[in-house]
Structure 1
Amino acid sequence: MTRAGGDTTGAPRWGGTALLRPGVLAFTGSIGTTDVHAHHAVQILTATTPLTVRDGHGIGHRGTKVVVPADAPHRIEVGAQEGTVVFLEPESVPGRSAHLRAVHSGWTVAPVLTSTRRRTLAAVVDELVEHLAPVLTGDGATPRHPAVDDALRLLPSLVAAGPVSGTDLAAQVGLSVSRLTHLFTDQVGIPLRRYVLWSRLRLAVMRVQAGDDLTGAAHGAGFADSAHLTRTTREMFGLAPSVLSRHVSWDLEAGL
């Protein structure tokens, strides 16, 4: 998924299946090495054999579970033939939880992330999110406000049509913009503006998978141009958009 670098003969290379939903990019398959990079998403890696991730200070973090905090320089020094990687939006509740665990307890004190063997990648992600943010998924979860449900229903078509105005969306669902943004963050688990950005990335992937080049996919997903899409994917995940169409089959989900 991330930029390949330092490959040696016989070393694992990136390839497998990925899932994308607002706030989450997940991958299962073989995990390759990378060059030094940083990305905004929190990265949770688990594998059947130990991985080695080296941080920006040159310290190696080795284990079958490793969490890379948001915006931390690192490189995957030793990959694995079979593993799972989950990128979480750091402004989301589960992403913030994973980030704080890594910062306070170390990169190899990882959240629970079980194997995808005989399980769908979506089920693995759901379990991880429940572990990191049980208030959003457990019995104590607050029922969504009808306006939040309305916003979630409207957003796909609004994102596809162009820029999304929080003020206009709030008016359509009958709330003030401040009330909507507060409810949305509290009940969906990710701020509205970040939800819109992840939705644009999902739409760009859909268009690439449908045959668009990067320029067409970028414009169709509401990015200014392909350079804007490239900057966004590198900043969020440390990967180039070309990875969206190489060596990966995609499962695209509409919501959280």
Structure 2
Amino acid sequence: MHPSVWLKPGILIIYGSALDTAPHKHHAIQLILPSPNASYQLNNTAGTGALVIDADVEHQLSMASGWILLIEPLSHWGKALQEKLAGRPTCDIEQQSSTMPSIAGSDDQPFPLLTPLFEQLGLGSYPNTFTSQPTDKRIQSLVSQLDKCINGDCVKPSNWRAAQVAEQLALSESRFLHLFREEMAIAWRPYLLWRRMFCAINALKQGSNATQAAYLAGFADSAHLSRTFKNNFGMTIRQALALLQLKSYSNLNK
């Protein structure tokens, strides 16, 4: 199995083997899909089928091989997964092994491959977007600006201070912070941090070293980025790059 990672606004997909994380939690809902005849260990409990972990639930995961999807909670697929969770921290989803997608290499796009599986799991068809969809047009515009970072058209996050964003939206800082939490079900600062990590991952995928990625994503240095990465994904950037067989190892800190 060739390990691979894909990023789109609102979703991070990992396909790999020997996945092993320290205890961590993050903003996203997590969907675990072990490969046929593979298993996982979640908080020392064994399982073999599809599993959903709610956002902000601490967990430790080991999996022999398979898929991990991190999905924004208020996106189309995120809402479908929340319905499955029904307020529980985790839930199993029945699946047919014959529907498990498989890819030949990292250049393949997994999204069409995942659609039949999501339909079989009762989670709906391929969505137009993976990001959370706020109803307020000002917050919609802000999220759209953040989405550009995934495509490389990134504005350094030092320009995303709450006071500056509020001024651009013609709001007071307090009103902006309240509105953003109301629309996105998360405070502005942790949401921006989550997006900054996506920015850093994208930079590393494009060949930047850790220092460059940290700068582009608005972190103080590569050590700060790696600590934050481990808190949210349960592994250092060095471990992630080794797992995914990427080559941007220079200036990495454990």
Normalised to the residue count of structure 2, the TM-score between the two structures is 0.65
1:32-51 equivalences in 2 (<5 Å): 32-34=18-20, 37-41=22-26, 42-51=29-38
Any conservation in 2 of the 1:204–1:221 contact (CA below 8 Å)?
A: yes
When residues 192 and 101 of structure 1 are mapped into structure 2, their CA distance, relative to the original with a 3 A threshold, is same
1:149 aligns with 2:140: yes
Structure 1 residue 54, shift from structure 2 partner: 2.9
Q: Which residue of 2 aligns with 1:199?
A: 195
C-alpha separation between the residues in 2 aligned to 1:111 and 1:137? 24
Cα contact 1:19–1:122 (8 A) shared by 2: no
CA gap 1:19/1:95 in 2 versus in 1, 3 angstroms: farther
Question: Which is strand-richer, 1 or 2?
Answer: 1
Unaligned runs of 5+ in 2: 247-254
Aligned-pair CA distance for 1:169: 0.6
Matches within 5 A, 1:64-79: 64-68=49-53, 70-76=56-62, 79=64
**Larger RCO (CA under 8 A, 6+ residues apart):** 1
Equivalent position of 1:212 in the other structure:
208
The answer to which of 40-49 and 174-183 deviates more is 174-183
| Distance in 2, Cα, partners of 1:99 & 1:243 | 33
Please state if 1:230 is matched with 2:226.
yes
SS at 1:232 equivalent = helix
Aligned to 2:4: 17
Match of 2:40 in 1: 53
1:63 to 44, 48, 53: 48
Amino acid at match of 2:194: W
Q: Which deviations, in whole Å up to 9, do the C-alpha atoms of 1:164-183 show, x marking residues without a partner?
A: 22122111112333443454
Q: Is the 8 A contact 2:19 2:243 kept in 1?
A: no
Amino acid at match of 1:40: K
8 Å Cα contact 2:211/2:222 also seen in 1: yes
Equivalent residue number for residue 173 of structure 1 = 169
Distance 2:90 2:240 in 1: 30
One-letter amino acid of the counterpart of residue 23, structure 2: A
Deviation at 1:230, TM superposition (A): 0.8
Q: Deviations over 1:77-122 (max 9, x none)?
A: x513xx321124679893895598297385434799x744589434
CA distance change for structure 1 residues 159 and 231 in 2, over 3 Å: closer, same or farther?
Answer: farther
Shift of residue 132, structure 1, vs aligned partner? 6.9
- Residue pair 1:88, 1:95 contacting (<8 A) in 2 also: no
Counterpart amino acid of residue 86 in structure 1: L
TM-score (norm 1): 0.64
User: Is residue 147–residue 174 contact of structure 1 (8 Å, CA) maintained in 2?
Assistant: no
Partners of 1:174 and 1:217 in 2: how far apart? 31
Matched position secondary structure for 1:31: strand
1:194-226 residue CA offsets vs partner (Å, 9 max, x unmatched): 332132112212322333221221122111111
CA-to-partner distance for each residue in 1:31-58, whole Å, 9 max, x for gaps? 32426x21213432113414433344x4
Do structure 1's residue 31 and structure 2's residue 17 form an aligned pair? yes
